Amino acid sequence: MNLLIIQGPNLNLLGKKSSQAGECITLDKINKALRLQVRNQNINLKFLQTHKIERAITSLQRNRSWADGILIAPMAWAKFEYVLKETLQLIKLPVVEIFFNETFFMGTGKKDSMLAETCIDSIEGFPEEVFTNGINRLIHYIQNTV
């Protein structure tokens, strides 16, 4: 199974946001936790963190035949990027979108997302938990639809 993980704008600054909340959570720690979670499961992960919607769209299009599913943390893109919504509709892969809880809120939440209708699930929570819950949800969905 191949999973594409798209991490949207400003997620590289998660460590700065978490330190303001008295935590020590970084995107690198989250990515390591995801790799550890799928280890020994014959699951390949491909990560892209970008601020540029064009890079995200290109990655989605280039990986549409490779990927079995997409985990996306769209941040502000969930509210404003119609081209992202259109791309997700066109490539027809299962998508789980994730957002952070109040403590780590980055300006766009689950209730703001125009992408929700193109996703199998939209979840919100603590950063490391929501990424691991999101990937579990995606894996479970793919395994039960094959």
Q: What is the pLDDT of residue 126?
A: 87
Predicted local distance difference test score (pLDDT) of residue 127: 87
Query: Given this model, what pLDDT does residue 86 score?
Result: 96
* pLDDT for the residue numbered 20: 64
Strand pairing report for 121-125 and 44-49: unpaired
Query: Under DSSP, is residue 105 helix (H, G, I), strand (E, B) or coil?
Result: coil
What integer pLDDT is reported at residue 106 of this predicted model?
65
Rounded mean pLDDT, 5-18: 82
Q: What does the pLDDT read at residue 96? A: 98
Q: Are strands 121-125 and 2-7 parallel, antiparallel or unpaired?
A: unpaired
Q: Give the pLDDT confidence score for residue 100 in this predicted structure.
A: 85
Q: pLDDT tens digits, residue range 17-60? A: 656 666 777 889 999 999 999 999 999 999 999 999 999 999 99
Q: Which pLDDT tens digit goes with each residue over 96-141? A: 999 988 766 566 777 888 899 999 999 999 888 999 999 999 999 9
Q: The sheet that has 44-49: what strands, in order across it? A: 44-49, 2-7, 69-73, 95-100, 121-125
Distances (CA, A) of 41 to 2, 29, 84, 143: 11, 20, 30, 12
Higher-confidence residue of 146 and 12: namely 12
Name the helix (H) or strand (E) containing 128.
Answer: helix 127-145
CATH class as words, domain 2-145: alpha beta
